Structure 1
């Protein structure tokens, strides 16, 4: 599939796919990333700079890894973790400390929160599933952030141009299906995860989408030849 040719799944299809992978989702992530996801998650928490009196929304929370990371950082702050797939949330709710987090099932296309409700929004591997209307989804996140609020997102993409980027794509194109077989999941589901990676945006067009939504101070940190990026942005505060 050519770079930039977006893959789209309806919310129900996304929910069905993640229902199938939910029981082994964390193991799959560890194998897919060679354990490097821990490093990326630490960077997310550093950039989010979540304070003790702040409110955080973790979208596409899955089994809650980013939400639990934030809870360890701030033991008493309010954390809301949301996902489209109830089976993912079931896994999250069984983990130690889950009772200190509010778990909600929702579609990230439309957020059922008031304007300026959160200080921080985080998410991992969400935006590639919102490509049907990425601008609207980002404006929703901008809407529910307070002025001065931070958005930090872990996302995959087709990586850098050039020989090293091509090599990374060649290796990465095979690995997800192998992982799917190793952990006893449908290789096709993990194959789609890789196809959606190769079809998503590189940092520059994603930064442009964030800026169209109203964000400023848009930045990214790239890993694995740009196939994984942590993106950060700020909702400007007109009083500063």
Structure 2
């Protein structure tokens, strides 16, 4: 059953959101496996037992961290693609979306990079959605790249899946060095990357050994 969002926060929901954000930072800093429920509770200034009033396990917390990030990311991608625009513009919008998630979801992205394999190896199907989400995201990107190739906008000698993974990894690894007080914000970084991706670094004359 889908609940109705009244827009009114409650002390319980505020507290829960605070605990999720706090735990996400610890997971990002120490790693999910190395983090204990006691450490999360201590940093929150509560007893371990109190944490279990909100979550039944450490896995429940990281589940909320990652699912919130992926829901936001995929929702933005779907919205960007709903208009059915031309592929190069769509890919540019998707790059902007990726960079735009770096600040609000920095901890979640770090956890995804560090703990993806471990979480997927846990018993049960709790984290199966991670693979499903990744498959959907890859499909959206690859479809746009292939469409761009079919329309003559993108080179056909580049493998679409490899191109997607290169773009994906470039965006996500940025979380490791990006600083909000640096010379560029995430929007400016996105525009810079779009320029490099589509226009390249060369002035037009091919100097590659493959040329």
| TM-score, normalised via structure 1 length | 0.25
Q: Which has the larger radius of gyration?
A: 2
- Structure number having the greater helix percentage: 2
- TM score, norm. by length of structure 2: 0.27
